Amino acid sequence: MSIQVKFFASLKERLNIEDRQIATASTAGEAWDIVTNKAARPDNVLVAINLEYAAFDDAIKEGDEVAFFPPVTGG
């Protein structure tokens, strides 16, 4: 078991990271720090844990999928 970390759209391009697996992390914010090597978090970055909107401080566990992305612009 591991934690899947995903990035989308402009954030994916800017950080040049699409998809990483990490062994463990206690919060979404810690997963961000591990994968981005503590890159500054843009103010408006959105977080989803297991396909639901969440916050950087929310707890995660092994097996979870954490995603980071910019404000959405669909429709």
State yes or no: residue 43 binds other proteins (CB under 8 A). Answer: no
Choose, by CB under 8 A, the member of 19, 62, 63, 71 that binds other proteins.
71
Site map for other proteins, 47-66, x if CB under 8 A? -x--x-x-------------
CB of 65 to other proteins, least distance (A): 8
Instruction: Using CB atoms within 10 Å of the CB of residue 7, give its burial: 0 to 12 exposed, 13 to 18 middle, 19+ buried.
Output: buried
Cα–Cα distance for residue pair 71/61, rounded to 1 Å: 25
CB of 7 to other proteins, least distance (A): 10
Distance of CA 4 to the CA centre of its chain: 9
